[in-house]
Amino acid sequence: MIFLKKPLVLIAVILASLTTFNSEAQSKRKRKKDEKTEQSAPKPASKKKGKIKEYSKVITKDAVTDDGLFKVHSIDDKYYFEIPNNFLETDMLLVSRFAKLPSGLGGGYVNAGTKTNTRLIQWKRFKDKILIKEKSYSAVAEDSLPINISVQNNNYEPTIYAFDIEAISPDSSAVVVDVTSFYGSDVKALSGLSAGFRKQYKVRNLDKSRSFVNSVKSFPKNIEVIQDFTYNAAEPPSGYGTETISIQMNQSMILLPEDKMQPRYFDERVGWFTLSQYDYGSEKLKADRKTYIRRWRLVPKDIEAYKRGELVEPVKPIVYYLDPATPEKFRSYMKEGVELWQKAFEAAGFKNAIIAKDPPTKEEDPDFSPEDIRYSVIRYVASTTRNATGPSVSDPRTGEIIESDIIWYHNHLRSYRNRYLLETGAANPSARTLDTPDEEIGEMMKMVIAHEVGHTLGLPHNMAASYAYDVENYRDGAFTQKNGIAATIMDYARYNYIAQPGDQNIRFIRQLGPYDDYAINFGYRYYPNAKSADDEKKALDQLVSSKAGDPKYMFGSQGSRFDPRSQTEDIGNNSMKASTYGLKNLKIVAANLPAWTSNQTNDYDDLAELYGEMLGVWNRYVGHVTTHIGGVYEDTKNPSQNGDVYSMVPKLQQKDAMQWLHKNAFASPTWLVDKNILNKIDYAGYTERLRGLQVRQLNRILNFETIGRLIDFSALDSSNYSALEMLRDLRKGLWSEINSGQNVSVYRRNLQRAYIDQMNYLMTEDMNRARSRKYYNVNQSDVRALVRGELNVLKQRLRTASNSAVNPETKYHYRDALERVNAILDPK
């Protein structure tokens, strides 16, 4: 023990202690900056000749400097970054996207604004070098935990690039590196040409003589670089003979927020785009996989008013700018499509949470660029592609959406016009034209934009939303005007194809619904007292559980191949009934198609295009029914909820679907083969068109997955529809002429031969090469035995029928079919 004998010494010790305490109370960010400055400060010994130079000899008086996130110096054709020490080992996002590109690159689905890479990076110092390291947050553990050492050792970050330190700033607070080669060479981590593109277009190399850095601009939180690259390529997508691909890339480097957004746990009962991390610091006996939703950061301006239940504006609203290339006549529809979501955000307690703006003029913002990561833009793309997309960029640490761009392709409205005519023309007089009224085109565009905005807010497709409404409701004008055609805009339910001629006041175009309010409330409700994602879990679970059992709030994944309630392009809660209405309307459209197209235009281009798309509509209506056979309902639940997650579609419903298919799909829908159309648009291939449509549906039934599910569920419960029952029902319907003694038409002959071919596939396919999902051993299952049994039954029927048939074509067909079956059963 030491005794202090003099009062002055005691006072000095106390003052020193207070100074230490105040120092420790500094902000975490300040300590971090100080530590990095101290660690990264150059040692006098490192200023060796030929290595680190004097600042004034590198950044000369000729330098043009742009000050922002980093100081960017331009000297002749060289670019230098002056990186502050306190930004070393700081998380940043490097986003690469096309600014300009040649026509046809990527087959039409790649455009100006398309992201090619997103990487979380850190600038790190190693001796006299600065490294760009790509960092991953897929595996995490708190820094204070011992296991964090192992997490780091087993997730070593790749080095994307290494720079020599050219100079140290005069006050030693920053390092200077030459980034000219980094941005001017073919760095694969930044390139717009993927390995697939390089192979497809036979790219040899980057031609440095025709490549250069166009511009480098530094803003307070981001740096934007434009590169012009020209590649030597033997087979470019356009400009044939030039052996050249020229692209312009935009590289955005954005500082990620130090005050990370509080993440929100994903609940699989509500659809969201997500990110996942493995937390090795978990108390569980394994790495804890945590999944968070992707969402914008919305915080109320007035938290006390928000607590009282008042609608409050966010501190920073979500803002979308229109592309300067957007035609004036479409701008109002696009902005309305964005701001339709304002009502949904009110369910989460926010007003004016999302806003659309015209592009700023040069005077308003001279630096505005659609590629700039600071702006979310609805990009208008001059392309013949018929599509629209809604990608976004998010913080991989928390799921916070930083920026998003909606891509609208110029020709997309043509596909909507065509679908409008084909799916609603029978009941909707205004759709019976190639010149759809502007107001209705605008309404379609508004809803497509709203759908894509939903994606950029974090919402995936919800294919179960149209199942919430009864089929007959679609013929009720008051119901459709209020509810639209699905419980969410995020379903692929575009038009009301159920309404019949004579139905009044029908809404034919989709709109937002109750699920949208519910999903936005789940993702964006602000919980003022929650200090962590765990603190929110109880409230979120209560919200979701309160909607359980209500079909309006059901989520159905787009990835489902087996749940007939979660299908694309369908509407209503009974596919057989809905498709019956749909086909009834489509027959009317088919009969009038020439009058609505070629008779008006005096050419057959539109007739040919719409006829081809009409076959696609028929295929969708029929496909909605096919999914019921071997179908399984998926009802996502927590263990606290009653009932099964997976249950087979009831037997009677599957048998109903089978009979519907025999009547409407397999019984030669010859109305599709209309000579008034076909002999105007093509010289051959008439029977092949119908064969292809029918066989596609047949093969969906006769596949390993469908039969496997039937085997599984009949093993669990013998009252379920069995694989044997299904195969018998299918055979009897497809070969019904054998029992009736009727002649077999060319369409049926084609279909019956396709049946034999697919049965042969089921008998002989090598499952090591089969593309279907292998969740059971086919060779040791009932599949081969059931197929062999059905072929033997068919063999006996064909032997008798071939002797009794009178029509020569039918007789020859039966004999040929018999030979084919014999070859399968006895390959020798």
Residues 268 and 391 in one domain: yes
User: Residue 693 domain-assigned?
Assistant: no
Counted domains in the chain:
2
Q: Are 97 and 393 in contact (CB under 8 A)?
A: no
The whole-number pLDDT of residue 16 equals: 44
Q: Which residues of the chain have pLDDT under 70?
A: 1-50, 139-141, 147-151, 153-154, 281-283, 285-287, 767-774
Tell whether 673 is covered by a domain.
Answer: no
Token representation of residue 90: 């700081």
Tell me, yes or no, whether 784 lies in a domain.
no
- Regarding whether 360 and 405 lie in a shared domain, the answer is yes
Q: Is residue 132 situated within a structural domain?
A: yes
In this structure, are 218 and 268 located in the same domain?
A: no
225/295 same-domain check: no
Domain boundary among 255, 273, 304: 255
Strand order in the sheet with 274-279: 139-140, 274-279, 288-293
Helix 438-457 to helix 514-524 angle (10° resolution) is 30
Q: Which residues pair with 800 in a beta bridge?
A: none
Distance CA 820, CA 828 (A): 12
Are 146 and 229 in the same domain?
A: yes
Q: Which residues contact 128 (CB under 8 A, 6 or more apart)?
A: 46, 51, 52, 164, 165
One domain, residues 525 and 493: yes
What pLDDT is attached to residue 405? Answer: 87
DSSP 8-state secondary structure symbol assigned to residue 722: P
Asked whether residue 400 falls in the same domain as residue 524, the answer is yes
Digit-coded pLDDT (tens) for 308-325: 999 999 999 999 999 998
In a domain, 633, yes or no: no
In a domain, 171, yes or no: yes
> From CA 412, how far away is CA 628, in angstroms rounded?
31
Are residue 302 and residue 405 in the same domain, yes or no? yes
Contact 524, 592 (CB under 8 A): no
Give pLDDT tens digits for 651-677.
999 999 999 999 999 998 999 999 889
Within 13 Å of residue 283, how many CA atoms lie on the same side as its CB?
0
- Nearest 5°: the CA angle 15, 21, 26 is 130
Which of 473, 505, 536 is the C-terminal boundary of a domain? 536
Residue 369's domain spans which residues?
263-536
**CB 153, CB 124: distance < 8 Å:** no
Contact 393, 93 (CB under 8 A): yes
* Residue among 83, 111, 392 at smallest CA distance from 250: 111
Query: Could you tell me if 301 and 357 are in contact, meaning their C-beta atoms sit under 8 angstroms apart?
Result: no
Contact at 8 Å (CB) between 517 and 344?
Answer: yes
| Distance of alpha carbon 160 from alpha carbon 232, whole angstroms | 24
Q: In this predicted structure, what is the pLDDT of residue 141?
A: 65
Whether 504 maps to a domain, the answer reads yes
For residues 241 and 373, state if they share a domain.
no
Cα(597)–Cα(681) distance, integer angstroms:
13
Contact 481, 458 (CB under 8 A): no
Same-domain check for residues 463 and 445: yes
Same structural domain, 200 and 334: no
Rama region for 316: left / alpha / beta (φ>0; ψ in -120 to 50; rest) = beta
DSSP letter string, 145-184 = STHHHHHHHTSPPPEEEEEEEEEE-TTSSEEEEE-HHHHH
pLDDT given at position 38: 43
How far apart are alpha carbons 747 and 687 in whole angstroms?
Answer: 7
Asked, for residue 785, whether it belongs to a domain, the answer is no
How many other CB atoms are found less than 10 A from the CB of residue 22? Answer: 9
**What's at 690, amino acid-wise?**
L
pLDDT at 773: 53
Residues 145 and 186 in one domain: yes
Q: Final residue of a domain: which of 255, 274, 289?
A: 255
Q: What is the CATH number of the domain that holds 385?
A: 3.40.390.10
Could you give the maximum distance between any two Cα atoms of the chain, in Å? 128
Residue type, 696: R
